Amino acid sequence: MVLRTVFLPILSLTYAQLMPLAAQVEIRRFPDRISVDINGAPFTSLYIANVRKPYLHPLRSASGKIVTRRYPMENVEGEPKDHPHHRGLWFTHGDVNGVDFWMSDPLARNDNGAVIAVKQIHRAKGGRDKGQIVATFEWRDKSGAVHLVEDRTITFYAETDRRTMDIEARLTAANRDVKFGDTKEGSFGLRLNPQLQELKGTGKMTNAEGAQTEKQVWGRPSAWVDYAGTIDGEPLGIAILDHPSNPRHPTHWHSRAYGLFAANIFGLHDFYGDKTKDGSLLLKKGESLRFLYRVLIHPGDTASANIAAEFRKFAELR
């Protein structure tokens, strides 16, 4: 028997390099929602079917802690059951041509049947560094009349120690003039895990000027607000950053000690307790408003997370 020596070529690529790279942001579509996982762990889902408004629920920290209230989507012992229209994270307003999109919810006492309905999902795709959901919604009153067309882009970033997402919303008065009325009931908001709220919780609000607590933050203009405390003993916070390109920047804040956390540019007579002030805004047919917010869920408190520096980086986006 003749033995033959076989020389195998030296491979220049490792096995790991030959394998396809796993996406760090994974986005999957389901009939009622679009789910988002980051680094193999669930982060949130965007609910879009059989709902009065699209909302993200729940929001989680990088360690897996849920930072938003779970009611009314889930019943959790000890969670407050007030304001059932406060679902996860949402974007609506309480007076759009007199229609209350903020309060519209089958469980709300003043429900009026208005809906922000999905028209089309253009993109729902993950990636190594980030993923995106791009969608068009229609703001319809109970009769089905469309007041606004909203083009929304949500960008999720792959990070190890925190969770960051940017939400861009372009509102267009497509069929008629649209008046945003002056009311505190708006607009870009979320409802906090009760452990993070100031009232009966561990949390504290801090704004860009260093003011703290609801007494000093509610109704005041500021480029950002951070709401930080502890959940099950872990120091955590969640910040909302208002981009300098937004209308009427810096926004005013409808942020409450009981856990509501919202940016609102329209509610001036409520915020200042002055009926001579008018925060309403008229959008002519065909005109648009563009909003861009960053939501940052971070370990530690406001100072250790250096929210001021995070805002400066965010402000460089165009």
pTM: 0.92
Query: Is 295:165 a contact under the CB 8 Å cutoff?
Result: yes
Residue 109: per-residue pLDDT = 85
d(CA 56, CA 46): 4
Cβ contacts of 215-221, under 8 Å, gap ≥ 24: 217/253, 217/255, 218/253, 218/254, 218/255, 218/256, 218/271, 219/184, 219/252, 219/253, 219/254, 219/267, 219/270, 219/271, 219/272, 220/252, 220/253, 220/271, 221/250, 221/251, 221/252, 221/253
Residue 78: per-residue pLDDT = 87
Q: How large is the average pLDDT for residues 122-131?
A: 97
Residue 40, number of CB atoms within 10 A of its CB? 9
pLDDT tier for residue 13 given thresholds of 50, 70 and 90:
very low
User: Which amino acid does the sequence have at 67?
Assistant: V
Q: How large is the average pLDDT for residues 147-176?
A: 97
Q: Quick one: which of 260, 261, 278, 281 has its CA closest to 269?
A: 278
Q: What are 164-209's pLDDT values in tens digits?
A: 999 999 999 999 999 999 999 999 999 999 999 999 999 999 999 9
pLDDT higher than threshold 80 for residue 19: no
Residue 110: per-residue pLDDT = 82
Domains of the chain: 22-315 (2.70.98)
Residue 23: per-residue pLDDT = 63
Q: How large is the average pLDDT for residues 112-129?
A: 97
pLDDT higher than threshold 50 for residue 286: yes
